[in-house]
């Protein structure tokens, strides 16, 4: 697939932005200025101001001498780059590879994208038409190299397309500045009468290098495709991503569901071929008004089951507000895992942790109730109860050790022991009754004590003497006394509940 690049020149970027915010300035001469070495210097001038001979770089006092009624606004540092980043994010609807080209340009890698809009001409026209509808004046060009597209968009015909392999023809009658050269190099070329690229493009390279340095040759090679030039996308492109542009804006939930089904089928087919499954997925909806709304899902195990993943998304489709319509859907899988084929069982009916049905059930519950409502724990090699278990990352994670079965442990362990009050404690015996959360529990049966020492290599502190106690209602608790009896009233805590 041949590489195709689009460069966009927003030649009145900042002033257009201000005009969009202040429509009353559309026909008025105004400038933006910033302090520079103790004086105010114009950083951007509107079209009406330029018609009066005012330009960027002029001292503000000189501009006011020409046009006393000139309106002046303070320029904010970094404003142009902020606007470029916002527009580059908007351009992601046309290609995943969008980058900024300060101070007033954008670069898009359009390779393999134009056919979705019916060809390169409609593709380029769609981008420029939308930018102009927003209120930005723009010129654009498409070529096989970034350098040629940049040159033509600024010094050639507006909205022009150059076929791959014809970059040299497009550059011949453009000025040297079209090659993105330093101003000093451009001035030296012009002094020698080399006012077009055609005047020096066929000169010996050794002579050009000796006279103008390596920069001129590098820019020529980049523009002609002899030296590769890449862009840095504003947002990293996910390796697993599917895009679906819409011929007409989507306004209904049914349309969103159809688009999601197509994207899931395409993404899952690709994952299946590569032996992978997704763990997280994000659906982005690019709206006509320029905003992007998105919803995401997560799975406990790697999955490329399109039907199952659609059910997870189905609960969140109603939260997608189409507004004036959605023109592009993008489905990404930021996190994927290798997915080995499940071993078939000889007898049906079993459903262990390895069963995809259990994983899909957990996924549906987690996406409906919230992932924080479902937990799985694995044992750890610690005697101290708070450290004896940890949350599992997924259903596929294997324990490093086995659960202890030689001692009785509660089915629910509190994250932190809770203080209880006891009556008439007897040394080395469980209490006759205790009060927990305002309720009195009379102990009918008890077992213990089980002494658990602190892990001295991790922390210091008293040991605990644990008892399993049962109250008059048959409820069983795991309580402990902290430390030895030392003559003072000991501290008692409740740490867990038994079934």
Per-residue pLDDT at 341 exceeds 50: yes
DSSP state of 214: H
Q: What is the pLDDT of residue 494?
A: 95
Q: What is the pLDDT of residue 159?
A: 62
- Confidence band, pLDDT 50/70/90 cuts, at residue 358: low
- Confidence band, pLDDT 50/70/90 cuts, at residue 458: confident
Q: What is the pLDDT of residue 237?
A: 78
Q: What is the pLDDT of residue 339?
A: 76
Q: Alpha-carbon torsion 47, 53, 58, 62, what sign? A: negative
Per-residue pLDDT at 343 exceeds 50: no
Higher pLDDT: 38 or 360? It is 38
- Confidence band, pLDDT 50/70/90 cuts, at residue 349: very low
Q: What is the pLDDT of residue 396?
A: 66
Where do the DSSP E strands lie in 454-490?
464-471, 476-482
Q: What is the pLDDT of residue 345?
A: 45
How long a stretch of residues is the chain?
A: 499
Question: Among the ranges 82-91, 151-160, 486-495, which has the highest mean pLDDT value?
Answer: 82-91
Q: What is the pLDDT of residue 234?
A: 85
Higher pLDDT: 182 or 339? It is 182
8 A C-beta contact, residue 346 and residue 251: no
Q: Let me know the angle formed at the C-alpha of 296 by 365 and 274, rounded to the nearest 5 degrees.
A: 95
* Mean pLDDT, rounded, for 219-241: 88
Q: How far apart are CA 219 and CA 179, in angstroms?
A: 6
- Confidence band, pLDDT 50/70/90 cuts, at residue 493: very high
* Mean pLDDT, rounded, for 343-360: 54
Mapped onto helix, strand or coil, the DSSP state of residue 97 is coil
Round the average pLDDT of the chain to a whole number and report it: 87
Mapped onto helix, strand or coil, the DSSP state of residue 448 is strand
Domains in the chain with CATH codes: 1-237 (3.30.70.270), 241-338 (3.30.1490.100), 412-497 (no CATH)
Rounded to whole angstroms, what are the CA distances from 242 to 113, 264, 282, 474, 498?
Answer: 12, 8, 11, 58, 49
**Nearest by Cα to 392 from 378, 371, 404, 409:** 378
Per-residue pLDDT at 353 exceeds 80: no
* Mean pLDDT, rounded, for 336-345: 64
* Mean pLDDT, rounded, for 268-272: 91
8 A C-beta contact, residue 328 and residue 275: no
Q: What is the pLDDT of residue 355?
A: 61
Higher pLDDT: 448 or 10? It is 10
Of 3-12, 22-31, 375-384, which gets the smallest average pLDDT? 375-384
Q: What is the pLDDT of residue 64?
A: 92
Cβ atoms within 10 Å, residue 188? 17
- Confidence band, pLDDT 50/70/90 cuts, at residue 347: very low
Of 111-115, 199-203, 344-348, which gets the smallest average pLDDT? 344-348
* Mean pLDDT, rounded, for 473-481: 94
Please give the full DSSP string across 192-223, using - where no structure is assigned.
TT--SGGGTTTS-HHHHHHHH-HHHHHHHHHH
Per-residue pLDDT at 422 exceeds 50: yes
Percent of the chain at pLDDT > 90 equals: 57
* Mean pLDDT, rounded, for 58-67: 93
* Mean pLDDT, rounded, for 19-44: 92
- Confidence band, pLDDT 50/70/90 cuts, at residue 457: confident
Of 194-208, 281-295, 375-389, 451-465, which gets the smallest average pLDDT? 375-389
Structure tokens at 490: 């000991």
Q: How far apart are CA 20 and CA 428, in angstroms?
A: 80
Sequence-separated (6 or more) residues with CB below 8 Å from residue 207 = none
Higher pLDDT: 242 or 355? It is 242
Q: What is the pLDDT of residue 461?
A: 87
Q: How far apart are CA 192 and CA 174, in angstroms?
A: 16
């Amino acid at each position: 697939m041949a590489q195709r690049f689009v460069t966009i020149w927003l030649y009145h970027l900042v002033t257009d932005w201000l005009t969009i915010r202040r429509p009353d300035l559309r026909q008025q001469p105004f400038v933006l200025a910033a302090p520079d070495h103790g004086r105010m210097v114009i950083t951007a001038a509107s079209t009406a101001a330029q018609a009066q001979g005012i330009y960027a770089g002029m001292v503000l006092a000189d501009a006011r001498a020409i046009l006393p009624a000139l309106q002046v606004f303070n320029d904010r540092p970094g404003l142009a780059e902020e606007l470029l980043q916002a527009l580059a994010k908007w351009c992601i609807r046309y290609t995943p590879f969008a980058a900024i080209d300060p101070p007033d340009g954008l670069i898009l890698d359009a390779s393999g994208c134009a056919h979705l809009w019916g060809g390169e001409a409609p593709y380029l026209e769609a981008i420029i038409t939308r930018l102009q509808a927003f209120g930005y004046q723009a010129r654009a060009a498409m070529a096989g190299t970034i350098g040629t597209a940049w040159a033509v968009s600024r010094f050639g015909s507006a909205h022009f397309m150059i076929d791959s392999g014809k970059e040299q023809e497009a550059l011949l009658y453009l000025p040297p500045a079209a090659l993105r050269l330093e101003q000093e190099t451009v001035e030296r070329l012009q002094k020698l009468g080399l006012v077009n690229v055609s005047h020096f493009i066929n000169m010996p390279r050794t002579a050009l290098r000796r006279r103008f340095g390596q920069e001129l040759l590098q820019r020529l090679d980049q523009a002609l495709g002899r030296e590769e030039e890449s862009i840095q996308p504003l947002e990293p492109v996910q390796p697993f991503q599917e895009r679906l542009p819409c011929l007409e804006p989507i306004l209904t939930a049914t349309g969103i569901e159809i688009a999601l089904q197509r994207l899931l089928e395409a993404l899952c087919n690709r994952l299946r071929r590569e032996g992978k499954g997704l763990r997280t997925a994000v659906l982005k909806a690019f709206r006509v008004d320029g905003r992007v709304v998105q919803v995401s899902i997560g799975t406990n195990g790697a999955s490329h089951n399109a039907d199952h993943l659609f059910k997870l998304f189905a609960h969140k489709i109603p939260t997608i507000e189409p507004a004036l319509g959605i023109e592009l859907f993008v489905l990404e899988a930021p996190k994927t895992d290798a997915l080995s084929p499940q071993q078939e069982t000889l007898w049906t009916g079993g459903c262990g942790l390895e069963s995809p049905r259990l994983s899909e059930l957990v996924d549906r519950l987690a996406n409906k109730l919230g992932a924080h409502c479902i937990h799985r724990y694995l044992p750890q090699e610690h005697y101290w109860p708070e450290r004896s278990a940890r949350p599992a990352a997924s259903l596929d994670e294997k324990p490093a050790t086995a659960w202890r079965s030689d001692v009785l442990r509660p089915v629910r362990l509190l994250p932190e022991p809770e203080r209880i009050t006891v009556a008439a404690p007897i040394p080395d015996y469980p209490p006759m009754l205790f009060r927990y959360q305002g309720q009195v529990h009379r102990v009918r049966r008890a077992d213990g004590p089980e002494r658990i020492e602190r892990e001295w290599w991790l922390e210091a502190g008293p040991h605990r003497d644990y008892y399993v106690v049962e109250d008059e209602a048959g409820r069983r608790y795991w309580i402990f006394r902290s430390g030895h009896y030392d003559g003072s009233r000991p501290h008692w805590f409740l740490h867990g509940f038994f079934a």
